[in-house]
């Protein structure tokens, strides 16, 4: 059982706000079902959704175009909306839209974003509804001047803060929790803007990697526990000083030809202005709890986050999985794309051939014409197709990164068996997901998580695998260990939440059996 239940001075108000956030997620899912083929048909719907990606550029003559490239590299962190705000020392422009980065930011659109400063955001909504209003960056004209903000993560004490700000006269323009930070800045009585930002950040609880921009300054900060990644880099300019860049993942720097400098530290606020780069720790003393699931699934393998290459972590997860739960087999097959790196590690450790026995169609959009007579497991077949000659007559070890509800895993196991595999052994490169996330990852409630309500053997029977094994928690933590001794959040595997605030209803187990 979770050691931290819902707590707070004003419990009723806070709880209703938290439940509102959950409803918004549910509404978003319902809205998604309006497209011709329901999203529930797609394998991705049984995956946890990415959170958001943020970028910031300081001191580049074409800051908007650099932000666009960086967002393009971070598209995997959110495909619902994107935005870029720029500043030229005098004015602050902001354009955002629904859809993919490349769909929103044409040449023409980018030309309307002048300036040498930019921040950008790509979003999958985790709180607030999915409307354009809540797309980011959010631009607020406050008592401290124009501020644009882009935020990756989730605040967990938003109910109390919002109510008290509204009592103080704050007028909210969006339902996004990111705006709370700007309103706190506007209402801060500290002397300088940077003091107001530090004051604001020290009042919010939860996960946030933030980039902010005024007319002439960029700010970047991480929450005191460092849930979400945020890296700082440098771009050489042929003429003039280097540009400073920030991005959720270092893979964005590669496209910009920027050099990785370091991670923004948990509890650190970095400011970039014409006077250079300055930094302060606005919060200290809290244990680090970076999201281990970034290493398991979210981040790209070509990124370095929390001081470690994601590729190395996933490779080690696969190796560890082979050591913990090896089984006689003929071939190791990943569930693409996210299972590939762990499967390579597993195959090498087990001395078995690695084969791409499932091919993913990368061009499946949200809309297409549904055939009149839908075949069984139609949705999964749209995205994945078995390579019959690699699977027929083989004992297959299938590597995936998670089982959420179990429905997709069952379809994939059936698909592999249908292609002629004689045995299907499913291996998962993390422990069972037993609890929802409140830190910026869109997870179902506990009642919908199959591992929260059923034993491994019951899940095995449900998904129709010959054997099923998960990576142990110790094995996972050993796989992501680094020299900096990063502390990790593992709440979705343990139910032990690093913060005080969780949604009571979301952590109730299911009453019904599968």
How far is the C-alpha of 489 from the C-alpha of 290, rounded, in Å? 5
- Its sign, for the CA torsion 249, 429, 340, 75, is negative
- What whole-number distance in Å separates Cα of residue 14 and Cα of residue 410? 38
- Cβ neighbours, 10 Å, residue 265: 17
Q: Other CB atoms closer than 10 Å to residue 107's CB: what's the count? A: 8
Phi, psi for residue 334 in degrees, rounded to 5: -85, 155
> What's the closest the beta carbon of residue 385 comes to ligand SF4, in angstroms?
29
Q: Considering the rule CB under 6 A, would residue 63 count as an interface residue with ligand SF4?
A: no
Rounded to a whole number of angstroms, the minimum distance from the CB of residue 303 to ligand SF4 is 16
Which of residues 386 and 440 has its CB atom nearest to ligand SF4 in the complex?
440
Contact between 501 and ligand SF4 per CB under 6 A: no
In the complex, what is the shortest distance from the CB of residue 433 to ligand SF4, in angstroms, rounded to a whole number?
A: 8
Bridge-based pairing of strands 488-489 and 290-291 is parallel
Stretch that binds ligand SF4, among 63-71, 104-112, 252-260, 485-493 (CB under 6 A): 485-493
Q: Tell the smallest beta-carbon distance from residue 38 to ligand SF4 (Å).
A: 25
Q: Which is nearer to ligand SF4, 227 or 306 (CB)?
A: 227
Specify the stretch interacting with ligand SF4 by CB under 6 A; choose among 167-175, 185-193, 327-335, 487-495. Answer: 487-495
Least Å distance, CB 209 to ligand SF4, is 12
Hey, which residues between 240 and 299 contact ligand SF4 (CB under 6 A)? 291-293
If the CB atoms of residues 37 and 52 are measured against ligand SF4, the closer one turns out to be 52
Does 449 sit near ligand SF4 (CB under 6 A)?
Answer: no
Window 288 to 347, contacts with ligand SF4 (CB under 6 A): 291-293
Peptide bond into 337 cis (omega under 30): yes
Nearest-10 Cα torsion for 195, 127, 18, 1 = -100
Nearer to ligand SF4, 147 or 437 (CB): 437
Burial class (CB in 10 A: 0-12, 13-18, 19+), 365: exposed
Q: At what angle do helices 158-167 and 178-187 cross, to 10 degrees?
A: 40
In the complex with ligand SF4, the residue whose CB is nearer, 51 or 316, is 51
- Based on the shown chain and the rule CB under 6 A, indicate whether residue 227 belongs to the binding site for ligand SF4: yes
Q: How far is the CB of 439 from ligand SF4 (least distance, A)?
A: 4
Per-position b or e across 418-450, b if 16+ CB within 10 A of its CB: ebebebbbbbbbbbbbbbbbbbbbbbbbbbebb
Helical pair 11-32 and 158-167, crossing angle rounded to 10 deg: 110
Question: Minimal distance in Å, beta carbon 110 to ligand SF4?
Answer: 33
> Which member of 92, 244, 491, 502 binds ligand SF4 (CB under 6 A)?
491
Residues identified as active-site: 52
Site string for ligand SF4, 418-437 (x = CB under 6 A): -------------------x
Residue 476 in tokens: 């996972």
Helix (H) or strand (E) holding 470: strand 467-470
For position 156 contacting ligand SF4 by CB under 6 A, the verdict is: no
- Closest approach, Cβ 443 to ligand SF4, in A, equals 7
Which position among 82, 489, 502, 507 is part of the footprint of ligand SF4 (CB under 6 A)? Answer: 489
Q: Which of 122, 250, 490, 499 binds ligand SF4 (CB under 6 A)?
A: 490
For residue 507, give both structure tokens.
């952590």
Residue 209 interacting with ligand SF4 (CB under 6 A): no
* Residue from 301, 231, 221 nearest 260 by CA: 231
Single out the segment in contact with ligand SF4 by CB under 6 A; choices: 25-33, 279-287, 399-407, 486-494. 486-494
**Ranges assigned E (strand) in 300-404:** 304-305, 308-309, 331-334, 358-360, 384-386, 395-400
Contacts with ligand SF4 by CB under 6 A lie at 227, 291-293, 437, 439, 441, 489-492
């Amino acid at each position: 059982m979770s050691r931290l239940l819902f707590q707070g001075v004003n419990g009723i108000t806070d709880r209703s706000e938290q439940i509102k956030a959950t409803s918004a997620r549910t509404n978003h899912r319902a809205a998604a079902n309006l497209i011709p083929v329901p999203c529930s048909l797609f394998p991705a719907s049984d995956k946890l959704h990415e959170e958001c990606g943020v970028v910031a550029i300081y001191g580049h003559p074409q800051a908007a175009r650099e932000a666009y490239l960086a967002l393009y590299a971070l598209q995997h962190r959110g495909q619902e909306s994107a935005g870029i705000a720029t500043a030229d020392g005098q004015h602050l422009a902001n354009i955002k839209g629904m859809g993919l980065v490349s769909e929103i930011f044409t040449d023409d659109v980018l030309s309307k974003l002048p300036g040498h400063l930019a921040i950008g955001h790509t979003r999958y909504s985790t709180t607030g509804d999915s409307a354009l209003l809540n797309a980011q960056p959010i631009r607020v004209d406050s008592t401290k001047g124009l501020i644009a903000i882009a935020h990756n993560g989730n605040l967990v004490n938003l109910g109390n803060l919002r109510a008290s700000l509204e009592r103080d006269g704050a007028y909210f323009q969006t339902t996004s929790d990111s705006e709370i930070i700007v309103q706190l800045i506007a209402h801060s009585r500290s002397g300088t803007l940077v003091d107001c930002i530090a004051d604001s950040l020290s009042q919010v609880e939860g996960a946030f990697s933030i980039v902010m921009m005024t007319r002439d300054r960029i700010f970047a900060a991480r929450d005191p526990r460092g849930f979400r990644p945020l890296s700082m880099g440098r771009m050489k300019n042929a003429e003039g000083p280097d540009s400073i860049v920030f991005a959720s993942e270092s893979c964005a720097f590669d496209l910009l030809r920027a050099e990785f400098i370091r991670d923004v530290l948990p509890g650190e606020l970095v400011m970039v202005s014409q006077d250079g780069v300055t930094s302060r720790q606005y919060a200290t003393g809290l244990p680090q709890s970076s999201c281990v699931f970034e290493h398991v699934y979210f981040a790209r393998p070509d990124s370095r986050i929390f001081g470690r290459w994601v590729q190395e972590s996933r490779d080690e997860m696969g190796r560890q999985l082979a050591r913990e739960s090896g089984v006689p087999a003929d071939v190791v097959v990943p569930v693409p794309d996210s299972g590939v790196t762990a499967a390579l590690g597993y195959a090498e450790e087990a001395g078995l051939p690695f084969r791409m026995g499932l091919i993913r169609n990368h061009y499946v959009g949200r809309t297409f014409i549904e055939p009149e007579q839908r075949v069984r497991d139609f949705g999964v077949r749209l995205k994945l197709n078995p390579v019959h000659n690699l699977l027929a007559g083989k004992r297959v070890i299938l590597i995936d990164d998670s089982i959420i509800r179990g429905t997709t895993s069952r379809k994939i196991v059936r698909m592999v068996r249908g292609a002629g595999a004689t045995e299907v052994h499913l291996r998962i490169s993390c422990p069972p997901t037993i609890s929802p996330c409140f830190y910026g990852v869109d997870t179902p409630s506990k009642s919908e998580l199959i591992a929260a309500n059923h034993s491994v053997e019951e899940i095995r029977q449900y998904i129709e695998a010959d054997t099923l094994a998960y990576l142990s928690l110790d094995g996972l933590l050993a796989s992501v260990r680094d020299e900096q001794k990063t502390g990790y959040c593992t709440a979705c595997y343990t139910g032990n939440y690093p913060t005080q605030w969780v949604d009571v209803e979301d952590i109730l187990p299911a009453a019904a059996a599968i």
